[in-house]
Amino acid sequence: MDIGAIVSQIRNYTTVFASVIGAATPEQAENLTNTVMPAAIVIPIGYRAGDDQNMTGVYQSVIESFMVLVALDNSSDRTGLATALASYDTVFNALNSVFLGWRPDPLSERGYYFVDANSLEQDGAKAFYSFQYAQERTLSEVDGWANNQIYLNQPGVIQDLDLVANVVVVIDGNDSNTTSTLAQLVGLTWSV
C-alpha cells in the first residue's frame, strides 16, 4: 500500500481539504490535527488475509485497507453539530469521487471500495470523522519466493557458472563488480 499515492490522489483530485498528510498510526494522527482545517490524514490500517485456496501452492485473497481521518473546524458552533454536519456530506462525496474504483496498481482485480465511516470525537473546536476504504488483491506463487533462482551473493555461484545457461539469474544491482565479473565470465552482456 502506497500511502504517498493515496495522499497525492486526495491532493490532486479534491478541493475540499486545506491540508492532506499521511500518518503511520492513529496516535501520530492525533498530533497532526493542529493543521489547517478541514484536514485529511491518511492512515494505513493494514492487510487482512483469507485462507490459502490452493492446497499445493499459493492462491490467497488479501484485503488492504486505509482510513482517512478528517478533522473539521467546529469552532463557530459550540454544540458540535451544524458545521460538522454541513461538511460531512461534502467530505464523503469528495473522498468517494477519488477512491471508488481507483486502482493504483493496474494489475489489481478491482479498485478501492468504501467500507465504513464513523464519527470519532467532537469538541468545541474540532470534529473528527473516519472514512475507510479497501481493495482486494490476490497473492500467488508469482508474488513469492522461487527456489530455482540463483543469487549472486549465494555461496557457490561463481563455482557453478555452467548452470547459469539453464537457470534464471537474479541481480539485485547492489554489487556492480560481481555483476560485471559474472557477465565477463559467461560472455553475457546486460545492464544493471
Specify if 109 maps to a domain: yes
Q: Considering the entire predicted model, what is its pTM?
A: 0.66
| 178 and 104 share one domain | no
Specify if 192 maps to a domain: no
Domain CATH for 20: 3.30.2000.10
Question: What per-residue confidence (pLDDT) applies to 75?
Answer: 74
121 in Cβ contact with 97 (< 8 Å): no
CA dihedral (26, 32, 33, 37) positive or negative? negative
pLDDT digits (tens, 9 = 90+) for 77-133: 666 566 666 688 889 999 999 999 999 887 777 899 999 998 887 766 778 889 999
pLDDT digits (tens, 9 = 90+) for 43-91: 888 888 777 666 667 777 888 999 999 888 777 766 656 666 668 888 9
| Burial of 17 (C-beta count, 10 Å sphere; 0-12/13-18/19+) | buried
